[in-house]
Amino acid sequence: MDTSVLPTYVDVSHPNRQGSFRMPVDSDDNITSAMKYVANAGDLFICSYPKCGCTWLQSMIWRILHDGEGIKGHIRDHIPFLEFDGSESIMKMQPNGGYKVIKTHFPYDWIPKHPCAKYVFIAREPKDVCVSLYYHVKGFEGYNWSAGRFDDMVDIFLNGEADCGDYFKMLDEWLRLESTGSIHIMLYEEVILNQREEIRKLAKFLGAELEAKLMAENGSMLESIIENTSFMKMQKQDKKWYHTDRSTPFIRKGIIGDWKNHMTADQAARFDRKTAELVGKYPMLKLWNVNSA
């Protein structure tokens, strides 16, 4: 692909893992330290490809762990972003609600593992991820891509050349693991359609006591979490979730199917051909309803 249309990225290698990791801006010190992080019992990793709803997930998890209370101050002060904040920021944190919560977009293989750590992965339909990433990259100065075109982002994304590399590969790495033991896999669309049940399952995964608290008094905490993590409420607090000025809101549209407002039939078909292969392998993705023709 013509590299002049690429946003400004840096490719980072890991000393002990395969492949490279593509990041938006150079933050060498923290990425080097992030790669040295050793996981501990009680770590809770929130894992995703960018733009799959991990900020929403972080808000829900935080409230489950804190009797329904929201994050006070900026999210990164409480939930470090491993590759940007580095391992020291995690080491000096005290466990919160029984866990140290850590966000990461690292590929599966790079994520620090511990038998008593937990891992939540959230996925989203690829066409919508591409649209969301397009606005994200355009709106964030560090990418030098304010004049970027959507058609270019489609090619960049399908070639696995966007932030964090190939989304289809990341999906395959996680979905083959299934939700068992210390891994819980979620879909953004399932949360949109059935948030009540998805929060309950999440609390159950985090611990039976947390689930019991969530459901006590006719599920009053569950109802308050749904209300306080709604798109409108989170959008009103936009600056809480992101640390730099941007030309588009971080909590932007929050819907299923925004790709219909952006993609040509041909672009959608190129995505669907790749996605259909994964839907064939992993039945939970049937919800994405892609056209497999």
Could you list the residues that contact ligand PPS (CB under 6 A)?
48, 50-56, 128, 132, 135-136, 229-231, 234, 251-254, 258
CB of 41 to ligand PPS, least distance (A): 26
CB of 107 to ligand PPS, least distance (A): 14
Whichever of 116 and 193 has its CB closer to ligand PPS, that residue is 193
The one-letter amino acid code at 288 reads W
> CB burial class (10 A; 0-12, 13-18, 19+) of residue 154?
buried
Sign (positive/negative) of CA torsion 273, 150, 164, 117? negative
Whichever of 30 and 132 has its CB closer to ligand PPS, that residue is 132
Whichever of 40 and 235 has its CB closer to ligand PPS, that residue is 235
Q: Can you read off the two tokens belonging to residue 212?
A: 């019991």
Q: Can you read off the two tokens belonging to residue 130?
A: 């591409």
Whichever of 41 and 255 has its CB closer to ligand PPS, that residue is 255
CA geometry: angle 39, 44, 120, nearest 5 deg: 120
CB of 3 to ligand PPS, least distance (A): 24
CB of 231 to ligand PPS, least distance (A): 4
Sign (positive/negative) of CA torsion 240, 241, 246, 247? negative
Spell out where 7-126 has E strands: 10-13, 20-23, 43-48, 100-104, 118-123
Whichever of 150 and 231 has its CB closer to ligand PPS, that residue is 231
Tell me which residue of 157, 113, 111, 106 sits closest to 133, measured CA to CA. Answer: 157
Q: CA 60, CA 123: separation in Å to the nearest integer?
A: 16
CB of 248 to ligand PPS, least distance (A): 8
Whichever of 149 and 281 has its CB closer to ligand PPS, that residue is 149
43-48 and 10-13 as β-strands: parallel, antiparallel, unpaired? unpaired
Q: Where are the alpha helices (DSSP H) in 67-125?
A: 82-91
CB of 280 to ligand PPS, least distance (A): 26
CB of 249 to ligand PPS, least distance (A): 8
Whichever of 140 and 205 has its CB closer to ligand PPS, that residue is 140
